[in-house]
Structure 1
Amino acid sequence: MGTMGGDLPESATERGAGAEFVYRPTAADFGEALRARASGTAAGRGQVLVMLLAVVLPAVLFVLVAGLGPLASVLVPVLSLGVMVVALVLGMRAQARQLFNIVEPYGECRMVADERGAVSTGERASFTTEWSVYSGYLETPRLFVLFGGERAAGIAVLPKRGAQDPADVERLRGILGRNLKPL
């Protein structure tokens, strides 16, 4: 499979082995995908931990050096932790909105997946990807989230609401399980 294209040479849905999803992406989809990455992958958890430590450790050091009273010694690190959590949430929302703004112009999307990869077609563009482009995937209650590997950066978000047949969710879960590492 290449990086540009359209229909698979032999349509996956015609063979009955593929899964088809038609959906319009939303900012909420990307927000859920980023939250899943932050909690469901080692890289995401590490990033959150580093960000939290970057704020809380200096606050603790400040308390130790400044010799503040007992109340202030507790309040400064706790407040800095609270500020960091709010900043993380707002940062993820902003990033989700940015990702959505990239795909919004493509409008409604149609994705057909089989054992070879996936063909995604929007109102303005289409592309074909092999599974080897991705390093792994996560499943949330509403999404499948695919993470780029060495050959591609970023994430692919696939809402389950787009399944054309309820069995397509199970078919895609099986395809992903055979071709990608669950994270």
Structure 2
Amino acid sequence: MDTRGGDSSDQDTYRSTAVEFIYRPTAGDFEEALRARARRSTAGRAQALTAPLVAAVAVAVFSVLHDATLPVWIMSLVLSVTAASWGTVRGLRTMARRMFSVVEPYGQCRMVADERGAVSTGDRASFTVDWTVFREYLETPGLFVLLGGDRAAGVAVLPKRGAQDHADVDRLRAILDRNVKRL
């Protein structure tokens, strides 16, 4: 992606090295990404905790207004928070499947990243993205997950299994560390 002629410093040579990943996305990749986002980002935690918190507050208010006995209050609280938590998990799974359904038709993907950004090419489409689109990223055992910034409220998923060489994972991590905030 970055082709420079003439003399360049060692730093410029290091920074101009592109990394290539070839992979086929799966629904599991998006589930893993959304679970990691829910655990490690402020927005993800807020999204995951809103329903159980609202359920707990609703039960508490209802119990106080109707003068419920303590055993009824505790049972209602446990059941409602459990149901709301289950709904949150199901919601994340549904969201992951929907995200996957958008990228599934593109088939196998080839992503090339350098200091300026990434170019991703699938069987049916390609796009180029600058690192400034992403506010932060996080890493799971199997993925790099890029989280959208001010102008883009999205999640980009990059499976590590797509690395052509194990060193490419480290090289991409270094590129991301220089260009995007790590969570």
Q: TM-score, normalised by structure 1?
A: 0.90
Tell me the alpha carbon deviations over residues 117-175 of structure 1, each in whole angstroms, 9 at most, x when there is no partner.
11100000111111111111010111000011123221100000111111010000000
Structure 2 partner of 1:128: 128
Q: State the alpha-carbon separation in 2 of the partners of residues 46 and 147 from structure 1.
A: 15
Structure 2 partner of 1:159: 159
Structure 1 partner of 2:75: 75
Equivalent residues of 2:16, 2:115 under 8 A apart: no
- Alignment gaps of 5+ in structure 1: 1-7
Q: Report deviation, 1:43.
A: 1.1
1:8-87 equivalent positions in 2, closer than 5 A: 8=1, 10=3, 17-87=17-87
Equivalent residues of 2:2, 2:16 under 8 A apart: no
Amino acid at match of 2:179: N
Q: Report deviation, 1:9.
A: 5.7
1:91-170 equivalent positions in 2, closer than 5 A: 91-170=91-170
- The alignment-based identity, stated in percent, is 55
Q: State the alpha-carbon separation in 2 of the partners of residues 9 and 69 from structure 1.
A: 69
Structure 2 partner of 1:4: none
Q: Which moved more, 1:125-134 or 1:67-76?
A: 67-76
Equivalenced residue count is: 173
Q: State the alpha-carbon separation in 2 of the partners of residues 46 and 89 from structure 1.
A: 14
Q: State the alpha-carbon separation in 2 of the partners of residues 70 and 41 from structure 1.
A: 35
Q: Report deviation, 1:18.
A: 2.0
- Alignment gaps of 5+ in structure 2: 5-14
Report the secondary structure of 1:153's partner residue: coil
Equivalent residues of 2:142, 2:161 under 8 A apart: yes
Amino acid at match of 1:47: Q
Q: State the alpha-carbon separation in 2 of the partners of residues 126 and 147 from structure 1.
A: 19
Equivalent residues of 2:30, 2:96 under 8 A apart: yes
Q: TM-score, normalised by structure 2?
A: 0.90
Q: State the alpha-carbon separation in 2 of the partners of residues 37 and 9 from structure 1.
A: 31
Q: Which moved more, 1:95-104 or 1:15-24?
A: 15-24
Tell me the alpha carbon deviations over residues 43-98 of structure 1, each in whole angstroms, 9 at most, x when there is no partner.
11122232222111001111122222222111001110100110011000000000
Give the superposed CA RMSD: 1.6
